[in-house]
Each structure stands twice: as structure tokens, then as C-alpha cells.
Structure 1
């Protein structure tokens, strides 16, 4: 009996964690395929793909929203990594004054509630004529994306083998060629993981898009919000499942790319 109670406690804990993780997902799947579901029925009385067909009608706007989400996310990755690669290399290799303060600055967007930040950004962008533009949405998506990009890029460059770079320089390679052929390939797995994090953060971003992009630009999170507010729970659930697919797939890829030596250097 004494040995049974600890095992029972562990089993209950695992069950609660599994319910907390998979319970909402199961409910999401049920709503996605429910055609009729009325109180007090515990399960839908009619199942089918009727609402899937409605979501992907040309006039429904799902294809346009999906294209906007993917296009903005890819552009955000390019913009963020274009800034993060030189910044990460400098923070990892150069002796910079106030290095830790600079790293802390990139964390500030995550240290405060996103709502007041994006409201103020929207006010500034309105004065600059960036509201309702793709470039304005890309900029606002890059704000949280740079947190992942710079921190992971810094760790990736810090984990590269400096001896290989010195050997290339001794053999006559220029600094640019050494960076291109030696440093960048070593840091590539970490940079790829950083790009995936930025992509996932951008494709799921709602608040920034809502204040800067709407009503001119509609993404999948905006479409899901409008459907949920209108009581169209099936359409909201289908949109959420579409957003979930790249998140799960890319997280499996991240687990492969992020090595232990890179993770150990994040924040140093």
C-alpha cells in the first residue's frame, strides 16, 4: 500500500497534465467537425465537413488570410534575421560596453503587456502613414520576433569553433570568406531555429495585426477572432487547427536544430 500511493499520485498528476494539454485540443477538433451541437447534448448531434467547405469558399476570405499570414511571417523572418545575424555576431564575438544591457533591451518587449505597447505603436504608425500597410504589420511583428532572433543568434555564434576560423585565416581566407564558409555553416542550425521561432510568433500574432493592420489586412488570427466574436465557433475552431499545424510541425524541427551547446549559451 505504501508503494501504491506514490504511483497513484504520479498517475493522477500525469492525467491532470494530459487533460490540461489535450482537453482543449480535443474540444477544438469536436467543434471543427460539429454541424449541429445544442445544449444540453454533451456531443454534437450531427458531424460533417460543411463548415470546412464554408471556410475555404473563395468569398470566405480564408485563402487570402492564409496567404497574408504566410507572406507576412516570411517577410518578418527575413527582416528580423537581417538584423539579428550581424547583431548576434557582434554580441557573441566583440567586446562591447554594456553588452548585458543591450541584451536586456531586446527582452523589453516581452517584459511589458503587449496591448499598451501595440496601441502606442499604432498611434505612431498612424502619423507615419504605416497603418493598414504590409510594411507596418511586418515591422510590428518584428518587435517580438527580434527577441528570439537576437538571443538565439548570439548563442549560435558563441557556440561556433573559433579555432576553425583562425585556421582559415592562417591559410589566407579573407574575413568575409571565413564568415561565409566557416562561421555561418556552424551557426546555421541555431539560426534556422531562430527563424522558425520568428515565423511561428508572426503567424500567430493577433494584437499587433489588429491595431496596425485591420481592416485593410486580414490574417488567420484576425479571421479566427472575428468568427469567435460572431458566434461562429466551428469556423473559429477550423481556423485554429490550421494555425496549429505549422506550430506543431516546426516545433519538432526546432527540437532537432537546437543543440545543447547552443541552448547552454543563451543569455550568456
Structure 2
């Protein structure tokens, strides 16, 4: 009886893990099925015919997936360069200098995340139209940077805060200038955190839809816009294939983040 009761205790845990696995892998399985389904309609639980003809259509010149992918990578790369370029001096200043209202500055960086995206981007699109930035790569990059800076500055601040000040003081005592100390000591140690920050910004930009739609469409076409167009038109195979293309770099880069973003860096976020 005791053994039976011990076994029964695992039933709720098994059910919970099963539901969690279904919530995670159920949509992914459905996505994979739609990506290789040639014919699939109600009431059939599984596709009636499998194939890869839709993959050929997506990557054909008329499918526009290759151009949208290259555009997404270009915009995400420019967003990373601009965001990290601003985050390194900002993060170092917030971590090392005794700035007044430091906590308020970090809080202000969260403001773009605090408001609904739709009204914000509608107003940004109106302003950008006056400066001729609508439908341009630069305009889309600037919109993406407003969100990317949140990750970039917060993680950069944590990365610089995690560095032992005695290492910098030792370099200065050996005659190194402040700039050389930063270049040869501080920056290399903070590099893993900055790399993780760059990955977060890249993924945020790669998946961004709303800002790209209001500022860039129809002149700028990215994978999220292609995904939206396909899904709204009922082309679920094309939408699923596009979603899988977006999923691959997300999984790969999250593995990079898990490797380089250390616990001591995470403990400094927001401090």
C-alpha cells in the first residue's frame, strides 16, 4: 500500500509535465506539419498529402522570402551596431560613475516597453513621414533601436558592474591610461555580457513586426511582414515555413546566450 501511495504521488506531476510539454511542443508540431503539408483540411486530424512544393515556392524569386530574410538580417545587424554602440558608453557610465538619478535613468529606458506599441508606432510613423524616413531602412532601424536599447543598456550595465574594480586599478597602477584600461581590461571581460546583449537586440529586431509595418511597409519587406501577409491570406503552409525560418536563428542565438550570460552578470541587472 505504501508503494502504491508513493507511485500515486507522481500522477499530478506527470500530468503537469505532460500539459507543459503539450503547450510547448504542440504548436511546434502543428507548425512542422503545416510546413510539409500539401493537402490538409477539416475534419482530418493529419495532412492528407505531404511534400515540399511550398518550400520551393517560398524560396523562388516570386516568393520574396530570400529578399525578406536578407532585409531582416540587414536591419537587425544595423540595429545591433547602433544599439551596442550607444549601450557601451551608457552602460559603463551607469555602472562606474556616480550619476545622480541613476535608477530613474534605467527606469526611463523601460518607457518604450510600458506603452502599447500600436499608438506609439502610429505617431512615430507620422513624425517620420515629415522627415522622409517612412519606407526607408534607416527609419525602420531607428524604430527597432528604441526597443533594442532597453536590452542593450541594462545588460551592458550589468556586465560592467560585474567586473572587479581592482583589475582596473591594477592596470592603472601599472601606468595604463584610462582609455587603454578600458580597451585592454574592462571591455574584454565585459565582452560575454555584451555579446549576449547583442543577441537579444538582434532577435528583438528580427521578430519585430508592428514598428516595421507602420514605418517600413510597403517599401521594406521583412520576414515578419511576409509571415503576416501569408497568414492573413490563409496561406498557412507559407506562413509556417516563414515561422520556421525565424525560429532557427532564435534557437541558435538562445544557446549562445545560455553559454555566455553568466549568473554573476544576471545578478547585477537593475542594480
In structure 2, the residue matched to 1:195 is 198
- 1:128-147: CA deviation from partner (whole Å, max 9, x where unpaired): 11110000000001111111
How far does residue 3 in structure 1 lie from its aligned partner after superposition? 2.1
In structure 1, the residue matched to 2:217 is 214
Q: Does 1:109 align with 2:112?
A: yes
Cα distance in 2 for residues equivalent to 1:169 and 1:144: 36
In structure 2, the residue matched to 1:44 is 47
- 1:191-213: CA deviation from partner (whole Å, max 9, x where unpaired): 00000000000000000000000
Gaps of 5+ in 1: none
In structure 2, the residue matched to 1:53 is 56
- 1:183 aligns with one of 180, 183, 186: 186
Residue pairs, 1:15-34, within 5 angstroms:
15-34=18-37
Gaps of 5+ in 2: none
- 1:99-149: CA deviation from partner (whole Å, max 9, x where unpaired): 000000111111121111111111111111111000000000111111100
In structure 2, the residue matched to 1:118 is 121
Report the 3-state secondary structure (helix = DSSP H, G, I; strand = E; otherwise coil) of the residue aligned with 1:227.
helix
How far does residue 58 in structure 1 lie from its aligned partner after superposition? 1.1
Report the 3-state secondary structure (helix = DSSP H, G, I; strand = E; otherwise coil) of the residue aligned with 2:38.
strand
Cα distance in 2 for residues equivalent to 1:109 and 1:70: 23
Cα distance in 2 for residues equivalent to 1:195 and 1:5: 47
State the TM-score, normalized to the length of structure 2: 0.98
- 1:199-241: CA deviation from partner (whole Å, max 9, x where unpaired): 0000000000000000000000000100011110000000000
Report the 3-state secondary structure (helix = DSSP H, G, I; strand = E; otherwise coil) of the residue aligned with 2:110.
helix
Report the 3-state secondary structure (helix = DSSP H, G, I; strand = E; otherwise coil) of the residue aligned with 1:60.
coil
- 2:243 aligns with one of 240, 243, 247: 240
Size of the alignment, in residue pairs? 268
Cα distance in 2 for residues equivalent to 1:115 and 1:159: 36
Report the 3-state secondary structure (helix = DSSP H, G, I; strand = E; otherwise coil) of the residue aligned with 1:35.
strand
Cα distance in 1 for residues equivalent to 2:234 and 2:174: 67
Q: Does 1:230 align with 2:233?
A: yes
How far does residue 60 in structure 1 lie from its aligned partner after superposition? 1.4
How far does residue 257 in structure 1 lie from its aligned partner after superposition? 0.5
State the TM-score, normalized to the length of structure 1: 0.99
- 1:45-102: CA deviation from partner (whole Å, max 9, x where unpaired): 1000000000000121111100000000000000000110000000000001110000
Cα distance in 1 for residues equivalent to 2:41 and 2:246: 26
Q: Does 1:166 align with 2:164?
A: no
Q: Does 1:204 align with 2:207?
A: yes
Cα distance in 2 for residues equivalent to 1:79 and 1:44: 45
Cα distance in 2 for residues equivalent to 1:61 and 1:55: 7
Cα distance in 2 for residues equivalent to 1:267 and 1:256: 21
Q: CA RMSD in A?
A: 0.7
